Amino acid sequence: MGRLLYNSDGTNMFIRPSPMAATDLLQYVDEVAGSQVTTFLASPNAGQNFYCPSRAGDYIGKDWSDGDLDAMARQEGRALLATVTRNVRDLIRAGHDPLAIVLARCRERGLEAFITFRMNELHDVDRQDSPLISRFYREHPEWRLNEPGHGWLGLAPNFAVREVRERRIAEIEDLVDRYDIDGLELDFQRFPAYFPHADGVAKTHAPLMTELVAEIRRHVERVASRRGRSILLSARVPGTLQGCLKIGLDPAEWHRRDLLDFLTIAPFLRTLFRMPVQEFKAALSGLPVYAGVEFSAQHHEGKARPMTPELYRGVAASLMAQEADGVSLFNMFCARENAEHSWEPPFSVLREIGSHSTLAGIPKLYLVDRRSDFDQPADPVPVLPAAVAPAHAATVSLFVGEGDCHARECLLRIETEPALPCGALFVSLNARLLPAGRAVDRSRVFPEPHDETPQEAGRWQEFVLLSGALRAGKNQVQVTSGVPCTVLGIELAVPGS
């Protein structure tokens, strides 16, 4: 079994009423310890400032008075950030180091203790008065991309500027020097903007980023040598090799120079069931490759379909069927950040999704990926929605961890626009035509109480799988229709044995 990685962005630990005790931080490690999670990745910077003391920057709230925070809390949508800022500020002023407390607790609970550093953090970059924004950023507007029309990404610090790269290296080296860690992750996917967006520009700067990673690797090895034990270095990058190059990253060259101990590939702020793991493994031979899993499975027009236990199991099984060495969980705790609509994350799956053996025989839901609000040019392009007609089929791949489902009623589900009558949709699985589908009055098979996406039950048809139709690993689904329509969703529901 490989690693099961759990990423904590830092913010989540401080979303609680003030005053906050230092011991309150321990629960965020304890709730995932004792499961299959092997590695806890603690972020010190879900903003340009830090959740810990820093010799290379400022901590969040350092110069903020109680009056400043009270005023921010009264602004629409800013109360949560005011609470986080107050808690960080007060703990550090009281002599505590939140990051050190969390990392020490990881060790106590038998977890690998990693720092995950966000390489170009952009939360609130359109608000210069935010406690998340560093003095370095405010004082040097000329060192930003300054590209209107790209949202926060267009306001990112420009890594073509030497001073920007040096600043980032100094911040990281300070963390490595001061904290007793098992590893460091460089998170290049939060946020994926380093160079001007014009076609081809970022790719020409990839050698600069390779040298940045190399300098960090050299420092990590120097510190590890002094301490007498290894410190691992990993990176989190966009989900395609070409996409990485589009933003100036070259993981294949990093591997050629032996700069990384493992790699995580992750789409931006969404879960994808299909990831080009094998492409990365071919280009980075011998390097463990993990695949990222987000808080939501789909996100359309501002509405999220959060991950459920069945979806977590399905995506873990799917990604491992594509040869991922394991999964890296990102934003799992966001279930708690919806004010009165919050709920507890399904932490029980952390005892299941770390290996093939514990995933066997339990309910899963597999999805064919659909385009999303958060699609980025550097990420894989989902195949749905797809137009079909009598002479035009949609063919998709579905990777699963199951073998034959003959002992269980596994359902292949197809959503179309417009809704079609039974008999108008023709579905083949691995070149075998399935019996005619049945219209259903449900839009979901398993409970999804927090799903915000539009659900129109009449658009779904379900196809019962024939014995021997499903294969462990790659499956080919082909959909045609007697009338033109658009396939919006394809799912495979697998009940427990």
Q: How many residues does the chain have?
A: 497
Domain boundary among 234, 260, 286: 260
289 lies in some domain: no
pLDDT at 1: 66
Residue 416 phi, psi dihedral angles, 5° rounding: -130, 155
Residue range 415-437, pLDDT digits in tens: 999 999 999 999 999 999 999 99
The per-residue pLDDT string of the chain (497 residues; one tens digit each, 9 = 90 and over) reads 699 999 999 999 999 999 999 999 999 999 999 999 999 999 999 899 999 999 999 999 999 999 999 999 999 999 999 999 999 999 999 999 999 999 999 999 999 999 999 999 999 999 999 999 999 999 999 999 999 999 999 999 999 999 999 999 999 999 999 999 999 999 999 999 999 999 999 999 999 999 999 999 999 999 999 999 999 999 999 999 999 999 999 999 999 999 999 999 999 999 999 999 999 999 999 999 999 999 999 988 889 999 999 999 999 999 999 999 999 999 999 999 877 789 999 999 999 999 999 999 999 999 999 999 889 989 999 999 999 999 999 999 999 998 776 667 899 999 999 999 999 999 999 999 999 999 998 889 999 999 998 778 789 999 999 888 899 999 999 999 999 999 999 999 999 98
Question: Which CATH number belongs to the domain containing residue 52 in this structure?
Answer: 3.20.20.80
Residue 53 phi, psi dihedral angles, 5° rounding: -60, 150
213 lies in some domain: yes
269 lies in some domain: no
Same domain, 42 and 186: yes
Domain boundary among 260, 279, 294: 260
120 lies in some domain: yes
* Residues paired with residue 411 on neighbouring β-strands, in sequence order: 464, 493
- Residue 19, preceding peptide bond in cis (omega within 30° of 0): yes
Q: How many domains does the chain have?
A: 2
* 3-class DSSP state of 87: helix
Domain boundary among 260, 294, 327: 260
- Greatest pairwise CA separation for the chain in angstroms: 70
Whether the full predicted model's pTM is greater than 0.95, yes or no, is yes
149 lies in some domain: yes
* 3-class DSSP state of 254: helix
354 lies in some domain: no
* 3-class DSSP state of 357: helix
Question: Could you tell me the CA-to-CA distances from 424 to 386, 387, 455 in Å, in that order?
Answer: 16, 14, 21
Query: What is the DSSP-derived secondary structure letter of residue 160?
Result: T
418 is in which domain, residue-wise? 386-494
pLDDT at 33: 98
33 lies in some domain: yes
Exposure of 404 in the CB half-sphere (CA atoms within 13 A):
6
Same domain, 249 and 390: no
How far is Cα 149 from Cα 191, in angstroms, rounded to an integer? Answer: 16
Same domain, 255 and 391: no
372 lies in some domain: no
pLDDT at 386: 98
- Residue 385, preceding peptide bond in cis (omega within 30° of 0): yes
Question: Which CATH number belongs to the domain containing residue 478 in this structure?
Answer: 2.60.120
pLDDT at 354: 98
pLDDT at 407: 64
Residue 55 phi, psi dihedral angles, 5° rounding: -85, -10
